[in-house]
Structure 1
Amino acid sequence: MKAYWIAHVDVTDPEQYQQYTQRAPAAFKAYGGRLLARGGRSEALEGRPTPQRSVVIEFESYEQALACYRSAEYQQACCHRQGVATAEVIIVEGVD
């Protein structure tokens, strides 16, 4: 069953954040992730205010999504996000 990585991100240093966005896609690809949405137009209809960026990545399984997040490749990319952005990352299993 497919799984989805959903992230809401607020960036405080766009220039430094580019270091993350240049590295993270390689980890997604290595684990079969497919970007479905990445920072396009959005509007919060309920809950917290609209984050600056929303990201949705599809994986073939929940386990692959978790493995990607926990991988050395992704964690190295995360080092470039920490301190320059606030992120909420959720992995959710899809429906059959």
Structure 2
Amino acid sequence: MKAYWIAHVDVTDPQQYLQYTQRAPAAFQAFGGRFLARGGRSEAVEGRDTPQRSVVIEFDSYEQALACYHSDQYQQACSHRQGVARAEVIIVEGVEG
């Protein structure tokens, strides 16, 4: 069953954040991740204010999605995001059918 990363990110230093966005996609690719949404137009219609960036990444399984997040490759990329962005990342299993 597929799984998805759903991330909401507010960036405080776009120049430094590039260090993250240049490194993280290699980790996603290594675990079969595919971008479904990546920073396009968005509008909060309920809940908190619209984040600067919303991202949805599809994986073939929940286990792959978790393994990607916990991998050394992704965590190294993620270290470049620390202090320059506030991120909320949720991994959710899809539905059958």
Query: After TM superposition, is the score higher than 0.5?
Result: yes
Structure 2: 5+ residue runs without aligned partners?
A: none
* Deviation, structure 1 residue 34: 0.3
Percent identical residues:
85
What amino acid is aligned across from residue 62 of structure 2 in structure 1? Y
Q: In the TM superposition, what are the counterparts of 1:17-36 in structure 2 within 5 Å?
A: 17-36=17-36
What is the aligned residue count?
96
Deviating 4+ runs (over 2 angstroms) = none
Match of 1:70 in 2: 70
TM-score calculated relative to the size of structure 1: 1.00
TM-score calculated relative to the size of structure 2: 0.99
Structure 1: 5+ residue runs without aligned partners?
A: none
CA distance in structure 2 between the aligned counterparts of 1:17 and 1:79, rounded to whole angstroms:
10
CA distance in structure 1 between the aligned counterparts of 2:37 and 2:95, rounded to whole angstroms:
19
TM-superposition CA deviations, 1:2-27 (whole Å, max 9, x none): 00000000000000000000000000
